Amino acid sequence: MQLEINVIDAFTDTVFKGNSAAVILTDNWLDVELMQSIAFENNLSETAFIVADNKGVYHIRWFSPLTEIDFCGHATLASAFVLFKKIPDLSLIKFSAKAVGILTVKQTDDGKIQMDFPNTKPQKLDEIPDDLLAGLSIKPIEVYKNSQAYFVIYNAEADVLTVARDNERLKQLAPLDVVVTCQAESADYKHYDFLSRYFWPANGGDEDPVTGSIHTGLAPLWAEKLGKNELLAYQASRRGGILDCVVAGDRVLISGNAVQYMTGFITV
């Protein structure tokens, strides 16, 4: 069996930046073990599999190299990019995912892809897990938590950029991951409202290049702290990525660019 595969760099307009995702469209769901094997072979942050129904809804599932993921923003953006390219008359996409329901995606006037996600604002913790404290080289100022991750707040950009981690200790926090974040203040990041880095040794690997889903928690957290609902975020991984965020009640709109890296076929 041959399957078309597209690899897209998401949250960037430059190849080799942002976060790469593979996108595979099929008429029917492949066996779960096969989808996981393909994701492992691709060795990208996520591989998205899409099956369309007869009502025009695109059912989507995301797999990291290690496991199926409940919610992935950058692979949703990559999937939308592929569908908009394949179907030029398509103006609005409805994705359906078991854990998050219906996700609507559209193209904006400036050429970006905007995704409408649930607001997953985290709650502040009174007690910080020992494994989180031991797993990071810099002590948090505050820690928040939602269903996806622990949110570690730092005062300085240098802390976010240089913090070292003990992946074995962070794995003990499974199934939750860890995001470290701070307000952007220096001249180097003057265009942004906040920075972040995302560590996920329990679910995908070491450090994720750009994580759309975590910004459904980061954006409302920083919206409250900064007193504004429109924010520009930078994920400060080695590849880097830019995310436009709008907090709108119980929804968070996240927009970004994407660029094609590869189209090909895999034989399974």
Known catalytic residues are 46
How far is Cα 128 from Cα 111, in angstroms, rounded to an integer? Answer: 42
Q: CB–CB of 196/160 below 8 Å?
A: yes
Beta-bridge partners for 62: 48, 69
Strand pairing category for 92-97 and 57-63? parallel
Q: How does DSSP classify residue 136? A: B
3-state secondary structure 5-68: EEEEEECCCCCCCCEEEEEEECCCCCCHHHHHHHHHHHCCCEEEEEEECCCCEEEEEEECCCCE
How far is Cα 37 from Cα 42, in angstroms, rounded to an integer? Answer: 9
Strand pairing category for 19-25 and 46-52? parallel
Query: What are the structure tokens assigned to 219, written together?
Result: 């954006």
Q: CB–CB of 94/57 below 8 Å?
A: yes
What are the E-state strand segments in the chain?
Answer: 2-10, 19-25, 46-52, 57-63, 68-69, 92-97, 101-107, 113-118, 123-124, 142-145, 149-153, 177-183, 194-199, 207-208, 230-235, 241-248, 251-256, 258-267
